[in-house]
A = this chain, B = another copy of it.
Amino acid sequence: MFNETMLSLGKKRSCIRELFEYGLRQAAIVGKENVFDYSLGNPSIPSPPEVNETFISIIRDVDSLEVHGYTPAPGAMPCRKAVAEELSKRYGIKIRGENIFFTCGAAPALISVIRALAVPDAEIVAIAPFFPEYRPFVEANGVRFVEVPPDYPDFQVNLKALEERITRNTQAVIVNTPNNPSGVVYSRETLENLGALLDRKGKEYGHTIYMIADEPYRELVYDGLDVPFIPTIYPNTVVCYSYSKSLSLPGERIGYVCVPDWAADSEDLFAAIAGAARVCGHTCAPSLQQRVVALCTASRPNLDAYDENRTILYDALSSYGYECVKPCGAFYMFVKAPGGDAAAFSDRAKEKNLLIVPGGDFGCPDYFRICTCVSKDMILRSLPVFEALIKE
């Protein structure tokens, strides 16, 4: 009657969202102040003020038919150019407006690239820990999902394991740095080695292996860390970007795919992405949002709150004996579960109204994720619970 895959994907609750909704129910029983919800990666820093001012000035000052009209599928060219120019300037490269395809956020960007590459027997590789949605995005669109085990304990890339998993059917490797869930930023060395490997294997198999750089957290880094722009390291890179976290606009569904001219077969790849977007229902990205981000390309969030949260949590949890790599980016921490079974540990934590996400779906069943995009107050109130749990 119904497509089995779609039905089960629609029925299967996300473990993250279940935890979040449990938290809301518990708050009604035990009081909001007694629930410590680290489940959802929803930004807690508001958009920079100029973003909201830009929304208002566009609506107020620009002709309504122009603001709200259809744009071409890849976006309005002036907006595409604004994004391209900012990237070009920042990284000292040449990205053209024609290389940018605006999407309704990173998810459809990724899926358009995946479907563009979905030839018969295609495989796409993800490196654990990875965003759980990669699996259904890949599998439900006709591609085999291949998982590379984590590089413990630093969560860079296990290159040996990756090499073993690359076959003649490998079309792409998804790279997510700064990483959800680990908060780790891949080093330039890691990316160079990764690029060299894909280059070598691509030559061996006689076709390009693309890197898909999923970069919603590009702007969220701490300690002045350098986040390399991957297309400058490995040319056959497609960037999937979102303004969800960098401008705190997760609900507004605005992001892009960038296919640089120097990527192999870039024109055909861009066309295939456009075709894939079309049959996923993409008409254009929200036209108002295109204009807003084009006018705010230089805006950056004030990350002080995330940074402070990260430090408080890292220092406290380390002092209690938790093992964790200190995150340098994004707003997550990925912590080794005492006892080694994160699902069991998460259940124990839940009994104390501490909501943490077990890492099984991220490809690391012995770790749990906590989101640091929460209030400092909640963190401080939750620390005794973390301490008690590891002592039990």
Contacts and interface: CB of A to CB of B under 8 A. Distances in A.
Interface of A: 1-11, 17, 40, 42-44, 46-47, 52, 55-56, 59-60, 63-65, 67-72, 103-105, 107-112, 115-119, 133, 136-137, 140-141, 207-208, 248-253, 265, 268-276, 278-289
Contacts of A17: 72
B136 A3 contact: no
Given A3-B115, A6-B118, A116-B6, A68 B279 contact: no
15 contacts: A2-B268, A2-B269, A4-B119, A6-B272, A11-B268, A42-B70, A47-B64, A55-B288, A69-B250, A103-B281, A107-B281, A251-B288, A252-B286, A253-B285, A280-B280
B141 A249 contact: no
A125 to B, nearest CB: 17
> How often does this chain occur in the complex, in copies?
2
B46 A56 contact: no
B7 A271 contact: yes
A250 B3 CA distance: 30
Given A10-B271, A137-B279, A252-B68, A3 B119 contact: yes
A55 B272 CA distance: 35
Contacts of A250: 68-70, 283
Nearest to A40: B70
Contact of A281 (B5, B108, B272): B108
A276 B9 CA distance: 8
A279 B11 contact: no
